[in-house]
């Protein structure tokens, strides 16, 4: 499956997805308000799902005109995953994530409705070669990501979540229509957090072929989150120029 020309249909400002990895909805709202118009797209995940007000936060973000990525990595029997994805599609989110085998991915893709796009997780950015050995995957990370991407595409998923380190090889095989969302983005090269082992800078990830970049701590923990988001937006704009 040869790659086509780099996508230009995504507005540059939409390519930054800010991860709202916070313990409560009120803190997430406060961060969004501090960031202001420096970001359009936000990710809400498992931590917030365990706190009161998850769907109210989603509705609040949508009411502000923001886009929402619900990152819950649905993983259960296919029928249960299908019902969860179908229910989520009524809430106006743009993206959701799923885990699991071919049947799970196919069920999610069939249940997504019109507006929601389903992204299959390939390999978490917290995993390295040793972790895959422990989990019983007798292949390298790159081979696993490519295999998962092929299966996701065949199942009808809209895209994948992939570390930037595997994006270039993925793009060499996947059609341009396959959405690639890349977490583990750090604005400073060679910075590796203890729980993020496969990271990449915004410019390098985009040049490799990523469509969207997920950034959490470098914005959330910055003294000025708005300025941090603006700096990453500037790097994205320069990489796409």
Q: What is the pLDDT of residue 86?
A: 97
CA separation for the pair 212, 224 (Å, rounded): 22
- Across the range 44-69, mean pLDDT stands at 97
Closest C-alpha to 73, from 59, 88, 62: 88
In a domain, 7, yes or no: no
Find all residues with CB under 8 Å of 131, minimum gap 6, and list them.
none
Q: Quick check: 33 pLDDT over 90?
A: yes
Q: Quote the strand ranges of 82-207, DSSP E.
A: 95-98, 117-121, 159-161, 179-182
Find all residues with CB under 8 Å of 140, minimum gap 6, and list them.
129, 132
For 77-127, what is each residue's pLDDT tens digit? 999 999 999 999 999 999 999 988 899 999 999 999 889 999 998 755 444
Do residues 202 and 209 touch, judged by C-beta distance below 8 A?
no
**DSSP type of residue 41:** E
Q: How confident is the model at residue 2 (pLDDT cuts 50, 70, 90)?
A: very low
In a domain, 4, yes or no: no
Question: Which residue range is the domain that position 74 belongs to?
Answer: 12-240
Q: Quick check: 63 pLDDT over 60?
A: yes
Number of domains in the chain: 1
Model confidence, pTM:
0.87
Q: Looking at residue 227, which CATH number applies to its domain?
A: 3.20.20.70
Q: What is the mean pLDDT of the chain?
A: 86
Residues with active-site annotation: 73
In a domain, 5, yes or no: no
Q: What is the pLDDT of residue 46?
A: 93
Q: What is the pLDDT of residue 133?
A: 52
């Amino acid at each position: 499956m040869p790659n086509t020309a780099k996508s230009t249909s995504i507005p540059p400002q939409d390519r930054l997805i800010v991860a709202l990895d916070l313990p409560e909805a009120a803190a997430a709202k406060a961060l969004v308000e501090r960031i202001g118009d420096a970001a359009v797209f936000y990710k809400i995940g498992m931590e917030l799902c365990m706190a009161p007000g998850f769907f109210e936060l989603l509705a609040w973000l949508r009411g502000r005109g923001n886009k929402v990525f619900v990152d819950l990595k649905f993983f259960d029997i296919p029928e249960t995953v299908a019902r969860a994805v179908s229910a989520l599609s009524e809430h106006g989110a743009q993206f959701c994530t799923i885990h699991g085998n071919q049947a799970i991915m196919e069920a999610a893709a069939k249940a997504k409705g019109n507006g929601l796009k389903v992204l299959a997780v390939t390999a978490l950015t917290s995993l390295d070669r040793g972790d895959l050995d422990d989990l019983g995957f007798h292949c390298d990370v790159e081979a696993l990501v490519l295999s998962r991407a092929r299966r996701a595409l065949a199942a009808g998923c809209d895209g994948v979540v992939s570390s930037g380190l595997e994006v270039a090889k993925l793009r060499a095989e996947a059609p341009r229509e396959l959405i690639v969302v890349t977490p583990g983005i750090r604005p400073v090269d060679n910075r590796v957090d203890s729980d993020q082992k496969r990271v990449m800078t915004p410019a390098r990830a985009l040049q490799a072929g990523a469509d969207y970049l997920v950034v959490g701590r470098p914005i959330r923990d910055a003294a000025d989150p708005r300025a941090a988001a603006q700096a990453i937006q500037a790097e994205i704009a320069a990489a796409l120029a």
